[in-house]
Amino acid sequence: MEKKLIESDFLKVEYDFIEYYVGMAKMVVYWHVKALGFEVIAYCGPETGYPEQCSYYIVKNDIKLVITSASNPKSYQIVSFVDLHGNGIKRIGVKIKDVPTFYQNALEKGAVPMRFPYTISDAHGSVDMASVKIFDDNEIVFVDYDKYDGVFMPGFEPVESGEWDFDKEESYLQDIDHIASALRINEIKIWETYFNNIFSSKTVSCFDERQKDGENKIGMYLKVLQTDDKQVNNVLVEPDQHKNTQVQLFIDQNYGSGIQHIAFSSSNIFKSVEILRKNGVKFTSFPDSYYNNLRKKYPKLDVDKMQKHGVLCDVIDDTFLLQVFTAPIGDRATFFYEIIQRVNYYEGFGLDNIHALFEAMEEEVMMNKS
């Protein structure tokens, strides 16, 4: 009997893995292990039957990353991506049920196919996969592991015990909260419809700070898309043609639209920042006026602690979001990480902080002029 999915099955999607294409995988893996506390679980490459790549599967709690580089110049897909974009995210893996049926449904709703459903297998079973296009040079990979009991997926073998063992302190990073992408002007509507159709997600927030009529606006347009169970959250951002912003800088140095940052949730953001900073991770700093304004607005908050660690805070009623941003982790001013902690079930995305930071920076400019 043919297996069929009901509509509710299409809502049961969640982030699985994020795959990076980089110039030298082993060095990027080393940084994630030493700086962020990841563990190397498995490896795929020429030694395991895949002659054109070297891929490391690394994990921190529920965060799963695949770091991939080319093993020879013939690996044109990897080499060309890195040549154009630098080190960056190529694929978002999403775990689903019944890849062929889900994929066909996605195509009917407008998804652009990259690889039609296929199966890979080894002694541990089989994995069903398929992929669709997003942005200029990225993909969403649909994955179903129901028939597989290996370490990750076929082609990956466990790393030897002790090979990647380093003394490291707990970094408290837990899972992927959301993925943010930088788009060209007028692309948001295209990809908003695309994602919402494929994942049955909804647009839950809109932040329009594009300049017009001489107003002093921040200079960006942002939308947040979220599935009903809040397992898949996509943040889409456009720059403003009238103002230079970090969104436009990403597009310029990435040579196109793409994934700008991943937000990792932390169970203790202050400890995360403390450990990561000790490990050499650099964070974006914020003006003192931001924290002075925060003290005035929320006198009961421990703003001194936030300022000491460079942590931002967004408050909604009795819930709040703590957040920090790393500096770009590569040579280009493109991809970076965000670390957040949601307190008392905070459900927003820190959009008020964008205003607060803008106002604080304007105050700093005025003070420096006086």
- Binding site per annotation, positions for Fe cation: 178, 261, 338
- Those residues whose C-beta lies under 8 Å from the C-beta of residue 286, and which sit 6 or more positions away, are 310, 312, 357, 360
Question: CA 90, CA 266: separation in Å to the nearest integer?
Answer: 24
User: How many CA within 13 A on the CB side of residue 72?
Assistant: 6
Between helix 351-369 and helix 288-297 the angle, nearest 10°, is 120
Phi, psi (deg, nearest 5) at residue 68: -125, 135
Question: CA 119, CA 106: separation in Å to the nearest integer?
Answer: 18
Q: Write out the E strands in 61-216.
A: 63-70, 88-95, 113-122, 125-134, 138-144, 157-158, 173-182, 202-209
The annotated binding site is made up of 178, 261, 338
How many beta carbons lie within 10 A of that of residue 249, not counting itself? 16
Phi/psi zone of residue 219: left (φ > 0), alpha (ψ -120 to 50 degrees), beta? Answer: left
Question: CA 267, CA 60: separation in Å to the nearest integer?
Answer: 13
Question: CA 23, CA 12: separation in Å to the nearest integer?
Answer: 35
Phi, psi (deg, nearest 5) at residue 217: -100, 165
Residue type at position 20: Y
